[in-house]
Amino acid sequence: MQSISQEKVIAHKISEIDRIAEDIPGVIIIHNIETTEVVYMSPRGLRLLGTTMEELKSLGADYHKKYFNQLESEEYVPKIFGLLERNIKGEVLTFFQQVNLIGEGCWKWHSSAVKILLWNEDGSPLLIITVATPLEPTDNLSIKADRLLKENEFLRKNQQRFNLLTRQERRILEQLARGRSSSEIANELYISVHTADTHRRNIKRKLQITNLPDLIEYAKAFNLI
């Protein structure tokens, strides 16, 4: 439970941010680390989400589940915890995230920056502030962020299958993705054509794929090419 003096410090810090919020080209969100609730969101953000501060506070930790893509947040949430653990004054964490805006009917990409805003008397983080700037669907950054999300989703979905491949099979997967034939792979790796063909079949079986485009997707996702 927070003391009255601590609540006053928080209220004062929030009032400072609120005075300039409409001048900032983005949405400002302030989280209380101890209660996990949103204690402030700039008017622009409330309008975009179609909500009120009372509703946000009532959601508690569920605020994140309601408005943010949970699959994609698995990438940046651990980084935020890392920021808090390091507890370095002035450190800024940046990442892309998808937000469910009112009336949009789809996820909207944002470029977000987070830092610790206020500390407890013992030096532990108390408040963090986020500034989120929307990206237009046609922006290069938005397109790249969408591609990155799909690649990360592919990695999570197929990591266990890829781990089944031996070191030699990964080398052959790379060669196959580059369009090399079994005879070319055999010459490159000093193995027989029969052995190269056997590895090819084993790779397709382990990865549960049947065509070259799928092989290329694996090779790209796991940085073989």
β-pairing verdict for 93-100 and 107-119: antiparallel
Q: Is 119 helix (H, G, I), strand (E, B) or coil?
A: strand
Gap between the Cα atoms of 51 and 198, Å rounded: 59
Residue 107 is predicted with a pLDDT of 82
Kindly report, residue by residue over 86-142, the tens digit of the pLDDT: 999 999 999 888 898 876 667 888 889 999 999 999 999 999 999 999 887 666 766
**Does the global pTM surpass 0.85?**
no
- Bridge partners of 27, per DSSP, are 132
Provide Rg for the chain, Cα atoms.
Answer: 24
